Structure 1
Amino acid sequence: MEQAEQTMQPAQRPSPSNLVYIVGAALVLFIFFLGAWWFLGRISRLPEQPQPFVVVLPMWDSPPGRPLTEGFVKKMEELGYKEGIDIVYKRHGFLAPGPETLGVVRGIYESDLTEGIDLIFAAEWSDTKAAQEATKAVGKPVPIVFADITNPIEFGFAETWASPGANLTGVAERRNDVVEKSLELFTGIVPGIKKIGVAAQGFMLPGEPSISYYEALLEQAEKMGLEIVEYTTDVPPGPGYREEVTRVFDSIQKGEVDAWLHIPGHFFTNQQTLEHQLALRLKIPHMLPAVEHNDETGELVGLFVYGADFVEKGEQAAIFADKILRGGTLASDIPLELPDRYIIVINLKTAEAIGVTIPPEILELADRIIE
């Protein structure tokens, strides 16, 4: 026992250098964890960066589609929506009108709804109808804002003007009022008009805005003692359709009609150009419900335009979108609005070509005169 006790060694104390190392390492770890705790706490208190709104733009390749979209995007930027930061636009391009186009557009909307979007800017009737059907089919009542709808209650886009209901709202027109004013101005510009030619069945799209404009035209013309001369075709859109449209217009002879009126909403995108050429050949006045241009020269077609400016209507629709996206207002609670204004455009170049003198009182009403 005594021998064992004699062999035991006293415990070793840490050297001063080792002690400094241990204390330093502990201090470094303490500072690290303290800094991490502070950093994570600060990050957790930072506000989350808002995700940009996702908005689908129109797809129907009709004359109003592009300027409506132009006005909408322009106004959204003015309202503070920077593309790529505050808002992302889904652009699918413009699809040519045709019997199958409505179904194609509806399918694209359904796909977008599945992926997740905040709003559909549907612009005119065909886009709006496709969007309405898509939101019902998918079961996601994403808000839809339109800019070029006529008779919205009659066609099932709204319950009332004051309370649209459902998930749609926007800028709309009362077609009868517009057509009545158009015919009054038209007959004021060219007194003595009795027979007005139109491209009707086979040219018009099987929906809006063609149908309501056509029906309102027949009603108002009868009241004013005017005859509507209808030109039709049985050839469906597709190969050879342009040739058929050209054939019909080429067959019209001088004396058959006193004037020509363009019905909005047609299969052949550049029909207004062919109508303009027809009017020049027959030397008759040609009226349009919106500003249209020659697809070859870019010049304004027609003698006279009465209607709302599409770019301005797109801008007006953007205000609806802003109320929904940032204002948190339901589409169903935003009353429908008429266009802010209607414009009158007189083309004096066309007037000279067809031998028509515009009365001074009509020129005074014009918002724009093409010299």
Structure 2
Amino acid sequence: MLVRDSVLIFGRRVLTRETKPVRRREFISLVGGAAASPILSAVNLRAQQTAMTRVGIVTIQSPTSAPYAAFRQRLGELGYIEGQNLTLDFVNPIRQSEGGAGAVQELIRRKVDIVLAIYQATMAAVVAAAPSIPVVMVAVDYDPLALGYIKSLAQPATEVTGLYLQQIDLAKKRVELLTQALPDVHAATVFWDAASEDQWKATASAAPEFALQLADVQLLDQPYDYEKALAQVPPDFRSVVVFPASPVFYRDRERLAEFAVRHKIATEFAFREWVDAGGLFSYGVNFAAMFRRAAEFVDMIAKGSKPGNLPVEQPTKFELVVNLKTAKAIGIAISPSILVRADAVIE
């Protein structure tokens, strides 16, 4: 039935339009729908916020180690809660029959959304087996540009982004600091492995400029036998040992600190965590800070950013950390000029 609407104009009623009356049920439906609209929007927003993000991590380190603690903390600050909207899948390649490749296959089986790649082997395996999975890298012992994992730092143009530290560029500075910290030392040894071979070569290349003679020992089979390695070193080269950045050396940092103190060896490392564990001194980036930034890359990708459009970042701040407690334990004196320049001194 149609109802004619009318209005009074100068005392006369004028018909305006014909309308269909709204039934009570339709009226309730319309009002209810309007009221429900913001509620549904809020529900949809909450669903987006609580969608599970699954991050896969291949590592030989403990999931509770300092870098991953920093990674978790930053994700928490960004609103992620494990078990609610975040899953961190840690896979140890040593426990996989096919090593790093097997670990990546396990992450693929678990259907991870993003891979946090620390090792070059992880990166290679992901690119080969699942090139469509976004990767956030923390590349500290390989060059993603030279290996073709990204097209450029400014525009990766692949499914890979994150952070890249050129360790070989720091090799010369570390040799210089070593000769300044221990001016009476003219011979040292570098322990290196497959992951740190490029760093060893860069260190060997820089040493002559600072009148430093070097011996070297390559560590091959895990667990590394540091006692056997030291026995291979000529006696005149045993007082100082340099450890480049390596996943295994990092994992063994407490063991290496005890080894060095027991043999009265001065040690130089790439990251502060070694010095916190008892190493003598280090020069490098704040490793935990890199992982905090990696968490922010994960967040951006989880919210829809394409890895290929996110520029790869390089750390610009480096810290010198000295452990005076260790210096006293092995009976050496660190040059005052180094102590003045140190960003942190552990006493």
Choose the corresponding residue for 1:198, options 181, 190, 204: 190
Aligned equivalent of 1:164: 156
Q: Under a length normalisation based on structure 2, what TM-score does the superposition of the two structures give? A: 0.78
Matched, 1:259 2:240: yes
> Shift of the alpha carbon at 1:69?
2.1
Choose the corresponding residue for 2:101, options 100, 103, 119: 103
For residues 213-234 of structure 1, give each alpha carbon's deviation from its aligned partner in whole angstroms, at most 9, with x where no partner exists.
2222222224434332122466
Aligned equivalent of 1:154: 146
Aligned equivalent of 2:199: 213
Aligned equivalent of 2:134: 143
> Could you tell me how far apart the structure 2 residues matched to 1:322 and 1:338 are?
19
> Could you tell me how far apart the structure 1 residues matched to 2:119 and 2:65 are?
11
> Could you tell me how far apart the structure 1 residues matched to 2:305 and 2:341 are?
38
Give aligned pairs, total: 318
Percent identical residues: 23
Choose the corresponding residue for 2:215, options 218, 226, 229: 229
Name the amino acid aligned to 2:73: K
Aligned equivalent of 2:170: 178
- Structure with bigger strand share is 2
Residues 40-55 of structure 1 aligned to structure 2 (within 5 Å): 46-47=40-41, 48=44, 49-50=47-48, 52-55=51-54
Kept after mapping to 1: 8 A contact 2:60/2:93: yes
Aligned equivalent of 1:129: 124
Which segment is superposed worse, 181-190 or 279-288? 279-288
Kept after mapping to 1: 8 A contact 2:285/2:318: yes
The structure-2 alpha-carbon separation of the partners of 1:268 and 1:345, relative to structure 1 and needing over 3 Å to count, comes to: closer
Aligned equivalent of 2:339: 363
Aligned equivalent of 2:71: 72
> Could you tell me how far apart the structure 1 residues matched to 2:76 and 2:126 are?
24
Instruction: List alignment gaps of at least 5 residues for structure 1.
Output: 1-29
The structure-2 alpha-carbon separation of the partners of 1:81 and 1:274, relative to structure 1 and needing over 3 Å to count, comes to: closer
> Shift of the alpha carbon at 1:358?
1.9
Choose the corresponding residue for 2:267, options 243, 266, 286: 286
Matched, 1:351 2:327: yes
For residues 109-145 of structure 1, give each alpha carbon's deviation from its aligned partner in whole angstroms, at most 9, with x where no partner exists.
2213xx3x43222234343333333323xxxx12111
RMSD over aligned CA atoms reads 3.3
> Could you tell me how far apart the structure 2 residues matched to 1:366 and 1:248 are?
30
> Could you tell me how far apart the structure 1 residues matched to 2:239 and 2:81 are?
50
The structure-2 alpha-carbon separation of the partners of 1:347 and 1:267, relative to structure 1 and needing over 3 Å to count, comes to: closer
Q: Which one scores higher on RCO, CA 8 angstroms, separation ≥ 6?
A: 1
> Shift of the alpha carbon at 1:250?
5.2
What is the DSSP-based 3-state SS (H/G/I as helix, E as strand, rest coil) of the residue aligned with 1:91? Answer: strand
> Could you tell me how far apart the structure 2 residues matched to 1:98 and 1:194 are?
43
For residues 201-248 of structure 1, give each alpha carbon's deviation from its aligned partner in whole angstroms, at most 9, with x where no partner exists.
xxx2x3x4x2332222222224434332122466x33xxx55x44333
What is the DSSP-based 3-state SS (H/G/I as helix, E as strand, rest coil) of the residue aligned with 2:162? Answer: strand
Aligned equivalent of 2:90: 92
Q: Under a length normalisation based on structure 1, what TM-score does the superposition of the two structures give? A: 0.73
Question: Is the radius of gyration larger for structure 1 or structure 2?
Answer: 1
Aligned equivalent of 2:7: none
> Shift of the alpha carbon at 1:177?
2.1
